[in-house]
Amino acid sequence: MTDAQLSALLIDLLAIPKESEWVEFKHNNAAPEQIAEYLSALSNSAALHGRDSAYVVWGIEDGTHRVVGTTFNPRRAKKGNEELENWLMRSLHPQVDFKLHQWDHQGHRVVLCEIPRASHAPVRCGSEAFIRVGSLKKKLNQDFSVTGAGPMVQMFDERMEITNPGEPLVDTLRFIDTPPRSRNEALAALMRRMGICEEGGSGIDKAVESIEAFQLPAPDVTAPPGNTTATLFGPKTLTDMNAEERIRACYQHCCLMFVTGRRMTNSSLRERLGVEKKNHSAVSRLIRDTVNRSQIRPFDPETGKRYMQYVPFWG
C-alpha cells in the first residue's frame, strides 16, 4: 500500500469508537512475545467475526485514539539476535503472512501490522491460541480444565480406541440425542467458521448410523477419570457378542431410530444386526434384556408382541 492508502486506512480505523475484536492500538509497546500473542488473537478473531484482515497500529494514544507517533521500528527490532519479523513468522502456527508498514502520518511515525484472518486452523503462538473478547486478549483454551497429552489413538487386532483429555459434559448414554455443549464456545464457533467442525452435535449420530449400515458392533463410549474414550470394534456376529455388546447395540439402535422420527421393532433390530427372520426369538430375548436393563421401553405396552415398538428410556 502507498502512504496515502495507509493514511486512508488509518483514518477509517480511528473512526471506530473503541478497540474491537479485530483492531488493536498501541503507543510504543514492542515486546515480541506480546506482539506474537496479539497476532494470534487478532487473526483468530478476524475469522470469527467475518473480517478479511485484522490490524495492530502503533503510534496511537490509547483511549483518545489521538495520533502521537511511535518509537517502535519493526525493521530494527529484534528478539535476541534474530530479526523480529523472522521470529514472529517462526512463532505462529500455521504461519501467518502478516505485513508490517511504517510511514509518516500528519508528522508522526505510525506502524501498522496487517494480519490476514485464520483460514484452516486457529493460529497458535507457540503452543497456545489466543482470541479477542472485546478489547481483551484471552487464551482460546482457557476454559479447559484438563492439561497434558492430546488425543491418543490405539490400534488393536479387533478394535480401535480413541482417547481425548477431558470428561464429557453429558451422560455417555445421551450422546446421540443431547443438544451439543462446548467447554469453549469461542473456539467452537471459530472452528465452525473455518469449516473444521459443525456445531450441530450430529457427529456421533452419523458415526452410529454408518456403523449400523455395515452391521458392526456398537461403539463403546466411556469416561475414565479426566478423559473420554471411544472404542470402535471390528466385525462380529450377534452370537460372538457378549451380553454388554448386544445390549449396547440394541440401545443405540433404538436411540438412532427415535432421533430420526422412527421407532425400533424386532424387524428393524434384526436388520441392523444381520439376523435372519427365523432367528427372531434371539432378537426378542435381546430386546427383553435391554428393557430389563431400563435402557428402552415399549412405546405402547398394550400393543401385541408382534407389533410392539420401542423407544429409549428418555424418549
| pLDDT (0 to 100) of residue 155 | 85
Q: Which of 73, 61, 77, 76 is nearest to 104 (CA)?
A: 73
Residues 6+ apart with CB under 8 A from 291: 297, 298, 310
Range with the poorest average pLDDT among 23-27, 29-33, 193-197, 298-302: 193-197
Residues 6+ apart with CB under 8 A from 171: 178
pLDDT digits over 220-277, tens only? Answer: 999 988 889 999 999 999 999 999 999 999 999 999 999 999 999 999 999 999 999 9
pTM of the model: 0.56
pLDDT digits over 171-193, tens only? Answer: 999 989 887 666 666 666 666 66
Q: What topology is assigned to 152-312 in CATH?
A: Heat Shock Protein 90 (3.30.565)
The domain limits of the chain are: 3-139, 152-312
Instruction: Sort strands 53-58 and 108-116 into parallel, antiparallel or unpaired.
Output: antiparallel
The CATH superfamily of 3-139 is Schlafen, AAA domain (3.30.950.30)
pLDDT digits over 51-82, tens only? Answer: 999 999 999 997 788 999 999 999 999 999 99
